[in-house]
Every structure is written in C-alpha cells, then in structure tokens.
Amino acid sequence: MNEKNLDLIGKEMEVTSVDVQDKIKKKSRVYNRLFFKVYVNYALVVLLFALVLGAVFLQLSEKAAKNNIKQQLFSQAKAIAKRYNEFILDEDYEKSLPYIEVLSEVGIVADDVWVLSNPNASIPMNSDFTTGIDLKDISREYQEVYLGAFAGEDTYRSRYSKIYGFDIISVGVPVRGANGEVCGAILLNAKVERQTEAIRDTKSMIFLSMVVALIVSFIFAILFARQLVRPISKMRQTALLLAEKKYESKTGINRKDEIGDLARTIDFLTDKLMENEVIRKNLDQMRMDFFANVSHELRTPITVVRAYTESLVDGVVEEESTKQQYYEKMLLECKSMERLVGDLLILAKMQNPDFVIDKEPVNLTQVFDDILKTVRTMGMKKRISVCLENDHTVQLMYGDYDRLRQMFLVICDNAIKFSKEDSTIYISVTRGEKLRISIRDEGIGIDGDELSSIFDKFYKSKLRQNAKGSGLGLAIARQIALKHGGTIEVFSTISVGTEFVFSFDYITEEELEQR
C-alpha cells in the first residue's frame, strides 16, 4: 500500500471522526439532555398540581364565602323578623323605620333591607311597618325569594343581578302577625363584591405560589438530575474505556437501586473482560508456543533427511552398506514426523468441542488383556514385569475401545520409559462409586514443580528419556479421559515412582441388559 492510499484512508478516518462528533453534538443539544427532560417533566407535574389545587381551592373558598354570607344574612334577617314581630304586637309604628336606619348605620352584612307586606294574608302587615316598596316594582328575579318567605319558609338564592351588575345573595324570612299568620317578610340583599376581591387575592397568591414552586422545582430538578446523570456519565466513561481495552476500569458506584445494579453489572463485565483478556493472551502465547514447538520438532527430522538426501544425491556416500544405513535413518525420521503429525491431528480432534466419541459398552478387562501383551513386549529389554489386579472379571463402561487402549498405552509407555531395570509396573482395576484404574511404576518419579505441566502440549522434561518424545502423549491421554467423562490424576515421589489414577462411570451387567 503506497503513501497516497494511506493519506486517503487517513482523511476518510478524519471525516468519519468529524461526522461522529457532529452526531454527538446534535444529540447533546439542550432539549435532548436528561437534565432538561427531568426538569420539564418535574415542572409540568408541579404546574399541573398547582393549577388543579388552585381551581379546587378557588371553588371551595367561593363556596365557603357564600355559605358564610348566607349564614350571616339568615341570622340577621331572623333577628330583624323577631324584632318586627314585637313591633307588630305592640303596634309600635314609630320605632320600626328608625330601627331599619340604625341597622344601616351600624353596618350589617346586607346592602338592602326590604320589609314587605304579604297581600295574601288575612291581616297583612301595616304599610307603616314596610319600607314602602310595592311588590309590582320589585324585579321578577326576587319573586322566588319573597314568595317563599310569604309561604312561611326561609328562602335563599344566589344569582347575577342585572340591577347591581354583581352576584347577589338574597334571603327571605317570614314575619308573623298577632294571629301567627305570615303577614310579611324581611328580604336582605348582599352584593358578593367583597368575595370577588378575596378570590382575586387568592388567585394572586396561587400565581405567586406557582412561580415559587417552579423555582423550587428547578432547584430540586438540578439536584435530582445530578444524582441521576452523574453515575450514568461515570458508567458511560467506563464503557468507553472498556472499548479502548482498558479492562481495569471500574465505575466506583455503590448505590442500592437500579442504577447501582447496572453499575455492578458493568463492573462484573469488566472483570469478565479482564479474565477473557488474560485467557486470550494465554491462548495467543500457547498458539505461539505451539507453532514454535511444531517448528522445532519438525526442523530436526527435516534437517536430518535433507542432509542424508544431499549426501546421497551428491554421491558422497558410495558404499552400499552406508547407503542402506542412510535409508534406514531417513525412514526412521519420516516415521517420527508421521507420528508427530498423527498425534497433532488426534489432539486437535480431541480438543474440538464438537467432536463426539462413538461410545459403546467396553469391557476394560479385555482392553487390559490386549494391553498387557504389548506392554510386556515393550518392557522385555529392561526386564520389566507387569502385575494386573482386577476385582471383577467384567468391568463395563461406555467408551471407544481403540481410544481407551491408546490412552492406557501412553501411560504404560511412559512407565516403561522412566522405570529402572528389573522393576515392576502395577495395574489395578477396581470398582467402587466409580471405576478406578491405577497404573503405578517404580521409576525415577516426577518433580513436584513439573506435575502441573506434564499434561501441556509439547511439554518435555530435560531427562534423556524424553529426548525422542513429542511431548503430546499425556496431552492426548488427558483429552481422551475428558471425552469419556472421566478424570486423570497423577501422584509422584522422586526416586520412588509415579502413579496415574483414572476415574470413570461404569455400568453393571444388569443395567446393560435393561438397556
């Protein structure tokens, strides 16, 4: 790739970065900010609450004011009616009109006091007691009130008066004569002017309260939004750091609410990402080590084969016996490479999670009868004997016969390789909660520091017995055990010996028959 192409890519990345920043700026406008949304919703709720509360309060205050005026008017009207009843009984015409004038001077609730005579009574109120108002001159809007009073009832009505231009409250109270008959009525009219002023003052107070509430809501919205936005911003910063592979980042948020749960989830994610990063680095290192080991293992036989081949091609070797030795060496190295490649293929297949072994009932007694023949042949040069202990003639488990045989042969081969001459290998197959197989030798043992590494690919100790090994045998044996749902453990003491212990699920003959 030339410099021109690199410059074009760089410019495209800059343009993309600018576009992303522009999008972020557009998204972060004031009306898109969480604080603005919190404040607007909070203010709308407060405003709506204030309007509803104000409307209810105005209705209640208006109703209470009218009820208060109504009660006062009825109380005064009844007092006047009682006084007029005394005037009628005493026929004291001279005191009635000055009484009304005195009431107006002392300031009663009513704006007008009308004393009306009942024309329908057998003995109507004397005109000297009335306020001189003819019923024909009274507006029809007052008719319901005085007619109710003439009928002997306390009457009340609230309405808008065209005469006064205000809301008027009118009450009517009957006045009884000497014979107990309703001879007239007391009619009190009061303008609701003072109530209107009170309602106006109430509206002003409600408006002022709404303004104060909006200011207070702004302050509370700031505090609430800061408490809400600050941890979210912290989690956003942590997420950006995680995107940059800074997996040690933490939110540092310790709250006992949903935001705290989200923060703990992000912190849990950082831990998992850190663990996965460590695993990834280990896998990368293992991959690098794997290729290095494979290259190392293949380099030696390829070099040897090449050297022998070049010698034969160049005619350096002329003797037939020497040529035959070279051919044998080349064949031996080819077999070694073939064995290495085969082991790699087997190990790769075993480590594949999708690979499933075809299992069938296998009698381990037959497996070890087959193995013993091979192991005794392998140990003949070092005069190594093999001792098998089996507590059942039939030891059944589900598995692959060839894979199980390969697994146990790997362990037995290592046991022969590291055992002393004239020693014994002990094989034990016993049944308890699990099927337990033990293979123990009397060899040189394994150092404690190496026990945790012996199942790693290409791991070989520096002992001369491992010079020709590929370092894959125990790794393959472990994978075979895992594919059969079993476990493999190793116990070793220097200069005493090593023991490999396998554990598998077994099946009885009865279970096999039922299946």
Residues 368 and 506 in one domain: yes
Residue 223 lies in a domain: no
Tens digit of each residue's pLDDT (9 = 90 or more) over 466-495:
545 566 778 888 888 998 899 999 999 888
**In the chain, % of residues over pLDDT 70:** 82
Residue 292, beta-bridge partner list: none
198, 218, 243 — which closes off a domain? Answer: 198
Residue 250 lies in a domain: no
Residues 73 and 5 in one domain: no
**CATH code: domain of residue 299:** 1.10.287.130
Residue 153 lies in a domain: yes
Q: Is the pLDDT of residue 465 over 70?
A: no
Helix, strand, coil percentages in the chain from 3-state DSSP, rounded to 5: 60, 15, 25
Task: Give the C-alpha separation, 74 to 65, whole Å.
Answer: 14
Helix (H) or strand (E) holding 96: helix 93-106
Residues 294 and 170 in one domain: no
Residue 396 lies in a domain: yes
For the residues 103-125, what does the mean pLDDT come to? 75
Task: Give the C-alpha separation, 443 to 346, whole Å.
Answer: 28
Residues 59 and 186 in one domain: yes
Residues 342 and 378 in one domain: no
Residue 152 lies in a domain: yes
Helix (H) or strand (E) holding 168: strand 167-176
Residue 220 lies in a domain: no
349, 365, 392 — which closes off a domain? Answer: 349
Residue 259 lies in a domain: no
Bigger pLDDT: 276 vs 50: 276
In terms of residue numbers, what domain contains 292? 276-349
Residues 18 and 95 in one domain: no
Residue 38 lies in a domain: no
The pTM (predicted TM-score) of the whole model is 0.45
Task: Give the C-alpha separation, 514 to 396, whole Å.
Answer: 14
Give, in order, the Cα–Cα distances in Å from 413 to each of 200, 377, 379, 409. 107, 11, 9, 6
Residues 286 and 370 in one domain: no
Of 15-24, 174-183, 321-330, 343-352, the range with the lowest mean pLDDT is: 15-24
Residues 366 and 509 in one domain: yes
Residues 135 and 93 in one domain: yes
Please state, rounded to an integer, the average pLDDT across all residues of the chain. 78
Give me the pLDDT at residue 102, please.
61
349, 373, 398 — which closes off a domain? Answer: 349
Res. 20 pLDDT band, cuts 50 70 90: very low
Res. 14 pLDDT band, cuts 50 70 90: very low
Residue 491, beta-bridge partner list: 499
Query: b or e along 70-95 (b: 16 or more beta carbons within 10 Å of the residue's beta carbon)?
Result: bebbbebbeebbebbbebbeeeeeee
Residues 490 and 345 in one domain: no
Residues 287 and 338 in one domain: yes
Tens digit of each residue's pLDDT (9 = 90 or more) over 254-298:
878 788 888 888 888 888 888 888 888 887 777 776 676 667 667
Residues 341 and 365 in one domain: no
Domains: count for the chain:
4
